[in-house]
């Protein structure tokens, strides 16, 4: 597989306590898949600097890109920017361009640009800002790590800002067939078909609907002709 | 922090591709938090043996318990049981007790217990089975790793089976009755019976076989006498 790889790092006690259900990983997964980038791993860690540092260092060494969500707001428990600076061994300061963006934003809103809000202008040295069209406070890219907000609509806006800067490989194509039979019934021939197409990925996803067992069969690959060919065979087997 | 710690390991290409949104981590997080167990980390890895082995070995060395979801079904891409055996360096075989459970299940259902379905009886040596009152195919506990299904209602039933064993609570027992009627037909009297036994949990899991509606009715509780008593009543109603 020559497609670029990526990992997601979700940072936040609220996810691990069950208070909040993470939806950013699912969103990112869909966006990356559409662009031919393979999400290879995802992790969730608490708001603790050693855990964040260890995870980001492991992931950035292994994959082409790391996307993080959470911990870049104004409160004391938002420690992601400091953790990233520590992970990369660089300094972190109130940066002039980020400060100017935020100052203008709060001026327009008639709100005080207080010390808590000024924290959001603290950016590790050497990082490039990620545009935040929703609420101004920027994310940043440091090396191959894209540090973004946890609030879903801001996260999504930042993903949209970052993705064009990343070179996508060939898009990963998928086709699927819905079969009104349980997995146990189709597993044998489906596995045999998968073995015939080693360059494709085939997966089965069972469901129950209105009390009936069914399975979605999915074929993925980068070669459209090969995906079509396998899909024709799959339909002949089960459709 | 003296509370027990835990990690979640989600196994499945379908999560990383964005096809399916994982809800099992969020469910587990809530259950653990209620019981004073701290979910310290979560990871998602693809259906690839090296990735599964590396993640489970890292997590089981670090945390008191590891919960996994996904990859224990009948198809060729279900490789979790083999990966766990490899991670622990133990053999894996078709185990007699798991085979007997599944054989009885498919006999009752009038379905062939074929090679694909027999795969679900492959259990690493030294593991303890985890009860699956929904669809029989068991999970297993190997060391401090609890290996469970990815389908949410089965995952949740398995979590309910495991949690009492690690919190020092009483084991949760289950009995089930297969009824050849749709849920709509039995819902009234089944609900009334459930109301008579507030200390038990009663659930219904519909299926369709050969075009006919059926329902698996499951009774769960910690008091064996009470479960027996309710089961006797249930059989009198529907068997």
Q: Is the model's pLDDT at A57 over the cut of 90? A: yes
Smallest Cα distance from B34 to chain A, Å: 9
Per residue in B134-175, pLDDT (tens digit) is 889 999 999 999 999 999 999 999 999 999 888 866 667 788
pLDDT of residue B2: 65
pLDDT tens-digit map of A79-98: 999 999 999 999 999 999 99
Contacts of A27 in chain B (CB under 8 A): 18
Cα separation, A198 vs B73, whole angstroms: 21
Our CA-based measurement puts residue A53 at a distance from the nearest CA of chain B, in whole angstroms, of 14
B174 closest CA partner among B213, B138, B122, B121: B138
Integer angstrom CA distances of residue B14 from A53, A174, B18:
28, 12, 6
More confident residue, A177 or B101: B101
Residue among B29, B114, B117 whose CB faces A16 most closely: B29
Tell me which residue has tokens 């007699």. Answer: B96
Question: Which of B14, B18, B206 lies nearest to residue A203, judging by beta carbons?
Answer: B14
Residue of A169, A171, A144 whose CA lies nearest to A4:
A169
Which pLDDT belongs to residue A203?
A: 84
What is the per-residue pLDDT for A168? 58
Choose the closest CB to A18 out of B26, B47, B182: B26
Q: Is the pLDDT of residue A171 over 70?
A: no
H/E stretch holding A119: none
Q: For chain B, which domains are there?
A: 5-167 (3.40.980.10), 173-238 (3.30.70)
| Chain centroid offset of residue B43 CA | 19
| Mean pLDDT rounded to a whole number for chain B | 92
Mutate which: B74, B78, B215, B216, vs A, most A CBs within 10 A: B74
Write down the mean pLDDT value for chain A: 91
* Residues A90-143: tens digit of each pLDDT: 999 999 999 999 999 899 888 899 998 999 999 999 999 998 888 889 999 999
Question: Which chain B residue is nearest to residue A173, measuring alpha carbons?
Answer: B17
Q: Do A32 and B14 touch (CB under 8 A)?
A: no
The pLDDT of residue A32 is 95
* Chain-chain contact of B44 with A22 (C-beta, under 8 angstroms): no
Residues of A in contact with B22 (CB under 8 A): 25-26
CB contact under 8 A, A220 and B23: no
The answer, yes or no, to whether residue A1 has pLDDT greater than 60, is: no
ipTM > 0.85 for the complex: no
Exposed/middle/buried for residue A112 (C-beta within 10 Å: 0-12, 13-18, 19+): exposed
pLDDT in tens, A3-35: 899 999 999 998 999 989 999 999 999 999 988
Q: Tens place of pLDDT for every residue, chain B, 239 residues?
A: 467 999 999 999 999 999 999 999 999 999 998 888 999 999 999 999 999 999 999 999 999 999 999 999 999 889 999 999 999 999 999 999 999 999 999 998 889 999 999 999 999 999 999 999 888 999 999 999 999 999 999 999 999 999 988 886 666 778 888 888 888 788 889 999 999 999 998 887 777 777 778 888 888 888 999 999 999 999 999 87
A239 or B58: which carries more pLDDT confidence?
A: B58
């Amino acid at each position: 597989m020559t497609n670029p790889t990526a990992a997601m790092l979700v940072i936040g006690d609220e996810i691990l306590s069950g208070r909040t259900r993470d939806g950013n990983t699912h969103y990112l997964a869909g966006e990356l898949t559409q662009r031919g980038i393979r999400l290879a791993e995802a992790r969730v860690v608490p708001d603790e600097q050693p855990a964040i540092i260890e995870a980001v260092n492991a992931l950035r060494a292994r994959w082409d890109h790391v996307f993080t969500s959470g911990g870049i707001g104004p409160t004391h428990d938002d420690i992601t920017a400091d953790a990233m600076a520590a992970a990369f061994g660089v300094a972190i300061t109130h940066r002039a361009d980020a400060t100017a963006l935020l100052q203008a934003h709060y001026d327009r809103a008639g709100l005080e640009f207080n010390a808590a809000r000024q924290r959001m202008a603290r950016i590790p040295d050497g990082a490039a800002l990620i545009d935040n069209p929703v609420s101004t406070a920027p994310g940043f890219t440091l090396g191959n790590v894209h540090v973004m907000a946890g609030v879903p609509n801001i996260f999504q806006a930042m993903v949209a800002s970052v993705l064009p800067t990343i070179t996508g490989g060939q898009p990963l194509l998928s086709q699927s067939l819905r079969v009104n039979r349980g997995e146990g019934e189709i597993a044998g021939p489906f596995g045999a078909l998968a073995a015939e197409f080693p360059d494709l990925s085939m997966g089965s996803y069972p469901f129950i609907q209105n009390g009936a067992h069914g399975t979605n069969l999915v074929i993925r690959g980068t070669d459209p002709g090969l995906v079509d060919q396998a899909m024709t065979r799959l339909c002949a087997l089960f459709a």
